Amino acid sequence: MAARPVRIGVVGGGLMGRELAALCGRWLHLSGHPAAPEVVAVADPNPAARDWFRGVPSVTTFADDWRQLVDDDSIDVLYLAVPHNLHEDLYIAAAQAGRDFLGEKPFGIDLAAATRIVAAVDASSSFVRVSSEMPFFPGALRASAYVASGALGDILDVRSQFAHSSDIDRGKQINWKRRAETCGEIGVMGDLGMHVAHVPLRLGFTPSTVYAMLDDVVQTRPGPTGEPVACDTWDNALLACRTSDSARGSSRPFSMLWETRRIAPGNMNSWSFEALGMDGGVRFNTRNPTVLERFARRDGEQVWETVQPGNVSAWPMISGGIFEFGFADALLQMWASYLAEREGELGDRFATATPHEALEAHRVFDAALRSNVSGSAESLG
Ligand SMILES: NC(=O)c1ccc[n+]([C@@H]2O[C@H](COP(=O)([O-])OP(=O)(O)OC[C@H]3O[C@@H](n4cnc5c(N)ncnc54)[C@H](O)[C@@H]3O)[C@@H](O)[C@H]2O)c1
């Protein structure tokens, strides 16, 4: 059966908007996918951002106002990739117009915005998912599936981490991601939190309480003319949560760490997930993307073994199964998952994060902010 054309409009032609245009250009990497996406429109008030898309042959609409794309019935799917303070108006308008969209995380600047967005999505006919691509690394998928299988037995603890060091240079200029007004009071949790929340929430590890340690290390950054400007977002956040493996029938609480760091010396862009239980364990880190490690007790020995999952993610690819997988492949696979699910053809493959998972993540980040003030563990509101 021929793949169904999907006309995509990009709102926000920055870093992530360009990634989507690039991955549509290499869609042929996927085998037998039911959709054939192409980016046909971009909306961005910045002319330079729009101009980049003039190099994408399929783009014919260049708008300075996102309403033009939300109102355009010839567009099938919107990709919403704008600063966090703009999420609420845009996402709600898209849902109310009945538009299908993939919305960038954190899906609203704070819990209140996310609650209103998700209510609008729930009241709409739109097919909506939330961007979170790191779990599409083959090792991450295998690690997640291993935990879901129950192979770990009684779970002892779970750690989910995203660590980079893009803010280690104090001379780096201020931008919207480093200001609470535009990034959100949740700071680094808005930037990286959905990435660490996606797999644990999918496995059913919803936190009951959160104890947070939040650090604002770099408090000013140079503005456009070099003058110091307040950099009032959390750089690093360590959340110590209690949860349980209720999805596999256990109500016994165990500890779970969610760690998001913009300043993690030695890390470029490392996403990792680890879970340990009485019968087994598993860990995966994108620093070492070709292997995942599994723990078992065998013949009285404690054994960590390495497994090479190959190039096998959510959707089959023409690339050889022995070839290495990277960040751009994870994005391609997330979009393959979103568009296949939209066509009703994802089957039991790993699905893109849902609006309700984003809302759950926001409830955790909100509890983290309260915990940072009270100095105690806080329940989810
Ligand atoms: N999934 C990921 O790995 C990942 C990585 C980075 C950022 N993000 C998310 O993507 C979103 C965008 O981040 P980014 O890094 O691409 O930012 P960016 O600053 O590179 O790009 C944002 C773009 O939005 C444009 N914009 C501003 N106001 C607008 C408006 N009113 N209408 C339309 N466009 C407008 C800006 O001009 C800019 O081109 C954020 O939600 C962020 O959290 C996700």
CA–CA separation, 347 and 64 (whole Å): 38
Which CATH number does the domain housing residue 32 bear?
3.40.50.720
Task: Answer yes or no: do 92 and 195 share one domain.
Answer: no
Task: Answer yes or no: do 218 and 81 share one domain.
Answer: no
Pocket of ligand 1 contains residue 371 by CB under 6 Å: no
Among 18, 20, 44, residue to substitute to test ligand 1 (most atoms within 8 Å of Cβ): 44
- Other Cβ atoms less than 10 A from the Cβ of 95: the count is 25
Cα 17 to ligand 1 centre (Å): 7
- Other Cβ atoms less than 10 A from the Cβ of 82: the count is 23
Pocket of ligand 1 contains residue 274 by CB under 6 Å: no
Task: Answer yes or no: do 146 and 49 share one domain.
Answer: no
Name the residue with the closest Cα to ligand 1, atom 41. Answer: 104
Pocket of ligand 1 contains residue 82 by CB under 6 Å: yes
Using the atom order of ligand 1, give the atom closest to the CA of residue 190: 43
1 has pLDDT over 90: no
Among 202, 49, 180, residue whose Cα is nearest residue 134: 202
Using the atom order of ligand 1, give the atom closest to the CA of residue 131: 1
Pocket of ligand 1 contains residue 66 by CB under 6 Å: yes
Which CATH number does the domain housing residue 373 bear?
3.30.360.10
Cα 80 to ligand 1 centre (Å): 8
Among 361, 293, 354, 289, residue whose Cα is nearest residue 328: 289
Pocket of ligand 1 contains residue 85 by CB under 6 Å: no
Q: 345 in a domain, yes or no?
A: no
Give residue 381's pLDDT: 73
Task: Answer yes or no: do 210 and 123 share one domain.
Answer: no
| Cross-sheet strand order for the sheet of 100-103 | 61-63, 35-43, 4-11, 77-80, 100-103, 128-130
Share of the chain above pLDDT 90, in %: 98
Q: 336 in a domain, yes or no?
A: no
Domain that holds residue 221: 134-321+350-379
Pocket of ligand 1 contains residue 19 by CB under 6 Å: no
Cα 299 to ligand 1 centre (Å): 52
Q: 40 in a domain, yes or no?
A: yes
Q: 334 in a domain, yes or no?
A: no
50 has pLDDT over 90: yes
Pocket of ligand 1 contains residue 187 by CB under 6 Å: no
Beta bridge partner(s), residue 229? 221
Among 61, 79, 77, 59, residue whose Cα is nearest residue 11: 79
- Cβ atoms of residues 257 and 238 within 8 Å: yes
Task: Answer yes or no: do 167 and 181 share one domain.
Answer: yes
Among 51, 91, 104, 162, residue to substitute to test ligand 1 (most atoms within 8 Å of Cβ): 104
Name the residue with the closest Cα to ligand 1, atom 19. Answer: 14
Segment 104-150, tens digit of pLDDT: 999 999 999 999 999 999 999 999 999 999 999 999 999 999 999 99
Segment 203-236, tens digit of pLDDT: 999 999 999 999 999 999 999 999 999 999 999 9
Q: 275 in a domain, yes or no?
A: yes
- Cβ atoms of residues 51 and 130 within 8 Å: no
Segment 354-373, tens digit of pLDDT: 999 999 999 999 999 999 99
Give residue 342's pLDDT: 98
Task: Answer yes or no: do 108 and 170 share one domain.
Answer: no
Q: 341 in a domain, yes or no?
A: no
How many structural domains does the chain have?
2
CA–CA separation, 331 and 135 (whole Å): 10
Name the residue with the closest Cα to ligand 1, atom 7. Answer: 16
CA–CA separation, 28 and 11 (whole Å): 24
Task: Answer yes or no: do 110 and 10 share one domain.
Answer: yes
Q: Give the end of a domain, one of 76, 95, 130.
A: 130
Task: Answer yes or no: do 214 and 358 share one domain.
Answer: yes
pTM: 0.97
Q: Give the end of a domain, one of 66, 98, 130.
A: 130
Task: Answer yes or no: do 93 and 55 share one domain.
Answer: yes
CA–CA separation, 169 and 254 (whole Å): 37
Task: Answer yes or no: do 172 and 92 share one domain.
Answer: no
259 has pLDDT over 80: yes
Give residue 21's pLDDT: 98
Pocket of ligand 1 contains residue 12 by CB under 6 Å: yes
Task: Answer yes or no: do 306 and 178 share one domain.
Answer: yes
Share of the chain above pLDDT 70, in %: 100
Cα 191 to ligand 1 centre (Å): 11
Task: Answer yes or no: do 154 and 268 share one domain.
Answer: yes
Q: 206 in a domain, yes or no?
A: yes
pLDDT, mean of residues 298-309: 95
